[in-house]
């Protein structure tokens, strides 16, 4: 299970839907500052994320459904994803050119690594949240059915980023708080959406059950570093995909459906 059963918060969100930076609508990805847990690492995003209203995972719930639907079915989210993916590409390309060299072999040899989250980063589960009753809530049973059926849609912007990075020679690690029990389904589904050839795919099991998603993901990146990986970027849709260090730069894709602590 990758997120808790809904925690009703929609009324709190009506006036504060988006994380820092949203008040200045911009056409491109820009620096966002979600606060101290990012441990001083720069984060580039679109501003289209839910705020941390408590130390809790939550789903936006049905009251914001019209706004969330308008964003997910409109052009803005496509542009936001493209802007963040482009910013990530430029950052990683420039870093490896400056620090590793220009051939895939050289990039590989210097162990440049990019960490990707999966849900709402490489695969889009909007159709899941939309179909729940009430809308934009979470239920572990319907979630597991959704995953097993691979009802996700793809996210072309990050799929293209992912494949360009592999061609560049970087190591790619998928780090997902999704349950290990679903891994066979997820592998098949990612492959069906043009995502393959990763070096590592780490999912959450029973170990570290007391950690938040953000803490658990940081321990996984730390472990990658211990094995010699240099984590040039972490690409995700949650601040918890890029909190507590062990990365150089975070790239935050939009998600106005749920917040993972």
Specify whether the CB–CB gap between 230 and 42 falls below 8 A.
no
Q: How many CB atoms lie within 10 A of CB 188?
A: 12
**Which residue lies nearer to Mg ion by CB, 80 or 119?**
119
Min dist. Cβ of residue 76 to Mg ion (A)? 19
Distance CA(206)–CA(13), nearest Å, equals 32
**Which residue lies nearer to Mg ion by CB, 100 or 123?**
123
213 sits near Mg ion (criterion: CB under 5 A): no
**Which residue lies nearer to Mg ion by CB, 80 or 117?**
117
The residues near 3 (Cβ < 8 Å, ≥ 6 apart) are 57, 59, 138, 258, 260
**Which residue lies nearer to Mg ion by CB, 171 or 258?**
258
How many residues interact with Mg ion (rule CB under 5 A)?
Answer: 4
E strand or H helix at 40: none
**Only segment of 124-132, 138-146, 212-220, 237-245 that touches Mg ion (CB under 5 A):** 237-245
Q: How far is CA 27 from CA 87, 128, 148, 158, 252, in A?
A: 12, 28, 36, 18, 15
Place of tokens 């440049």: 112
**Which residue lies nearer to Mg ion by CB, 95 or 259?**
259
Q: Which 109-138 positions form the footprint of Mg ion (CB under 5 A)?
A: 117, 119-120
Nearest residue to Mg ion by CB is 119
CA 199 to chain centroid, in Å, comes to: 18
What does the per-residue mask of binding to Mg ion show for 49-78, with x meaning CB under 5 A? ------------------------------
Q: Which of 80, 83, 213, 237 binds Mg ion (CB under 5 A)?
A: 237
Min dist. Cβ of residue 237 to Mg ion (A)? 4
Length of the chain: 261
Place of tokens 């589960």: 125
Residues forming contacts to Mg ion in the complex (CB under 5 A) are 117, 119-120, 237
């Amino acid at each position: 299970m990758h997120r808790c059963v809904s925690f009703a918060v929609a009324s709190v969100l009506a006036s504060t839907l988006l994380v820092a930076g949203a008040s200045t609508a911009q056409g491109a990805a820009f620096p966002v500052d979600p606060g101290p847990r990012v441990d001083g690492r720069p984060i580039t995003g679109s501003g289209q994320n839910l705020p941390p209203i408590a130390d809790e995972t939550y789903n936006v719930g049905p009251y914001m459904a019209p706004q969330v639907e308008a964003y997910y079915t409109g052009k803005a989210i496509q542009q936001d994803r493209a802007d963040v993916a482009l910013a990530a590409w430029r950052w990683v390309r420039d870093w490896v050119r400056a620090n590793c060299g220009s051939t895939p072999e050289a990039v590989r040899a210097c162990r440049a690594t990019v960490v990707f989250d999966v849900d709402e980063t490489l695969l889009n589960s909007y159709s899941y949240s939309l179909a729940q009753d009430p809308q934009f809530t979470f239920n572990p049973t319907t979630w597991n059915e959704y995953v097993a059926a691979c009802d996700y849609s793809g996210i072309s912007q990050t799929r293209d980023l992912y494949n360009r990075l592999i061609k560049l020679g970087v190591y790619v690690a998928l780090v997902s708080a999704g349950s290990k029990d679903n891994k066979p389904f997820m592998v098949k589904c990612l492959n069906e959406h043009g995502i393959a050839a990763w070096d590592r795919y780490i999912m959450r099991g029973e170990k570290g059950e007391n950690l938040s998603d953000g803490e658990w993901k940081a321990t996984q990146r730390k472990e990658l570093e211990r094995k010699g990986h240099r984590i040039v970027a972490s690409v995700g849709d949650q601040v918890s995909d890029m909190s507590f260090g062990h990365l150089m730069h975070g790239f935050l894709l939009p998600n106005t459906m749920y917040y993972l602590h």
